Copies of this chain bind each other. A is one copy, B any other.
């Protein structure tokens, strides 16, 4: 496992080692010594290539999340070509949002259950800071999806749509972070547990959630 490390650059090995360890243990729990040992590199190499542990984490996050966000916007463009200015089917909007994440999970060399943890833990551990490159990206993506969701859900007011997108985000985040642990809380034997098998389940659930009726207590005058 360590033997084919010689062909790839030290910088690359550090990134791979860091994302693996961050995913497994979290950002704070992993020391530069852990990372450089895992990468078969010298203790000083992180500072040589990245100048600090924090910048390393930024790069780890960015190089996973950026392609996902790009693919999301592309998927939305594809829907635009297919449906023009009409509202897109809700299910396809959700898939445009989620499928890129699952695909990135596969193209990254990580075990699929580690992918979500890289981002989740790096970000949670380091408090609010998202890499500066990523924040405007996320804003653009969420803005684009909110617009389409509002069009696809004409019976809901914009604030409710925003909340429900937020909830859907929670579903995905939680699933990415804990899909390997769902079995811990039950005696039931479970079959396909990967994020892979659960994508359709997630989409089903979120469709239902987004389309749900608004209960009496919430209804204002606007819808």
Residues of A within 8 A of B (CB): 25-26, 28-29, 91, 120-121, 124-125, 127-128, 138-139, 142-143, 146, 158-160, 162-164, 166-167, 169-175, 178, 181-182, 185-188, 190-191, 198, 200-215, 217-218
Contact = CB atoms under 8 A, between A and B. Distances in A.
A128 B214 CA distance: 36
Contacts of A29: 28, 125, 127
B162 A201 contact: no
A171 B182 contact: no
A5 to B, nearest CB: 27
Given A127-B25, A171-B170, A191-B159, A213 B218 contact: no
Contact of A218 (B181, B187, B200): B200
A212 B188 CA distance: 22
Classify the interface of chain A: helix, strand, loop or mixed: helix
A218 to B, nearest CB: 5
Given A29-B127, A125-B28, A169 B163 contact: no
14 contacts: A26-B125, A29-B127, A121-B124, A139-B185, A142-B185, A158-B188, A159-B191, A166-B175, A167-B205, A169-B174, A205-B209, A205-B212, A208-B209, A208-B211
